[in-house]
Structure 1
Amino acid sequence: MPTPTTPLITPHLWYTEDLFAAIDFYTAIFPDSSVSYRETLGPDIRTAEFTLGGQRIIAVEAARADFGFTDVFSFMVHCADQDEVDRYWDRLLADGGSPQQCGWLIDRFGLRWQVVPDRLFELQHDPDPKRSAAAMGAMMQMVKLDIAELESAADAAK
């Protein structure tokens, strides 16, 4: 049962390798991040609890060929401006990540991320449906999201 300081829902990630390296990678990228504990339970099992950007996460590493991250789960990184988009995008792709369509990427550990400027959500909810549709159409053509291009597409739809 959660306590007042424990959230009701906590993401749990299963790594098949490199759990501790992944935690070090992520906590170096995001502010308000820390490692609560990391433990080796045997030659092939590790577990950890850590916080990323204030979000508590539990993780385990145990080799299982049939387990791994897929597109059905990702973390979304909300960015205030283009500098944040660029910074998080570049850092999450470091050392072997793979860029994907529409602001998604796969980091070197196989975890999926969406790096999204808050401005996209504002444009999505624009009262003018033409502006909203134009911004979404532009986003669908991008890999890394570009706020100026999103705004330009919305403005051109007037």
Structure 2
Amino acid sequence: MERLNAALVFQKLTRTKGTFMNKNTICLWYNGDAEAAARFYADTFPDTSVGAVHYAPSDYPDGKTGDPLVVEFTVVGIPCIGLNGGPTFPHTEAFSFQIQTEDQAETDRYWNAIVGNGGKESECGWCKDKWGVNWQITPRTLNEAMAAGGAEAKRAFDAMMTMQKIDVAKIDAARRG
């Protein structure tokens, strides 16, 4: 329970300042590098920005007074906070951001930014950034194929299952049969 003290400090900090909290904000747990992650996201994705950085008002289990504790940011318009809570809770594939792309160039740009900055490729359009946050870089054509259902969806799905980064031309060819 001691590790959760960072979260409790954060809750007190936001209540006393009456700050930024939306009704629903995604909280991502980082190991001291939330600000670096938020700045990378802002440099990579449109409609993404870094807001305020809140500093720890006192020492806590994984940090000291004055260390960045909470970072406000958005990812493609979604409000988020990064909590520098220490190494206790690593990210898993149970949470991911799905970014819909319009074409291969946009797919390549996001995928290459994440993987090229210390991230890792996975399967079916998934990759993981160097902080462990998972991303689905998903071309619109794949989403449309899945929504169409039937044989078109099956062909696109079967093609996707052979890929790491999604190949738009191969998905389009599979959709056509």
> In which range does the TM-score fall when normalised by the shorter chain?
0.7 to 0.9
User: What is the one-letter code of the residue matched to 1:59?
Assistant: G
Q: Is the 8 A contact 1:103 1:116 kept in 2?
A: yes
* Alignment equivalent of 2:49, drawn from 24, 30, 34: 34
- Take 1:73 and 1:54, find their aligned partners in 2: how far apart are those partners? 17
Residues 5-16 of structure 1 aligned to structure 2 (within 5 Å) = 7-16=22-31
Equivalent AA in structure 2 for residue 126 of structure 1: A
The partner residue of 1:18 within 33, 48, 59 is 33
Whether 1:80 and 2:95 are equivalent positions in the alignment is: no
Q: Alpha-carbon deviation of 1:7?
A: 4.8
Could you say which structure has the higher strand fraction?
A: 1
Which amino acid in 1 is paired with 2:28? L
Contact 2:54–2:71 (Cα < 8 Å) also in 1 = yes
1:155 maps onto 2:170 in alignment: no
- CA RMSD between the two structures: 1.8
Runs of 4+, deviation exceeding 6 Å = none
Moved more, 144-153 or 37-46: 37-46
The 1-side partners of 2:21 and 2:36 are apart by: 25
Give the deviation of 1:100 after TM superposition. Answer: 0.3
Stretches of structure 2 lacking an aligned partner (at least 5 in a row): 1-19
For residues 88 and 120 of structure 1, the distance between their equivalents in structure 2, rounded to whole angstroms, comes to: 16
* TM-score normalized by the length of structure 1: 0.87
Q: Is the 8 A contact 1:14 1:60 kept in 2?
A: yes
Which residue, 70, 75, 92 being the options, matches 1:47? 70
SS in 2 for 1:39: strand
Classify 1:112/1:123 alpha carbon distance in 2 versus 1 (closer, same or farther; 3 Å).
Answer: same
The percentage of aligned residue pairs carrying the same residue is 35
What count of residue pairs does the alignment treat as equivalent?
A: 150
Structure with the greater alpha carbon radius of gyration: 2
- Structure 1 alignment gaps of length 5 or more: none
Q: TM-score, normalised by structure 2?
A: 0.78
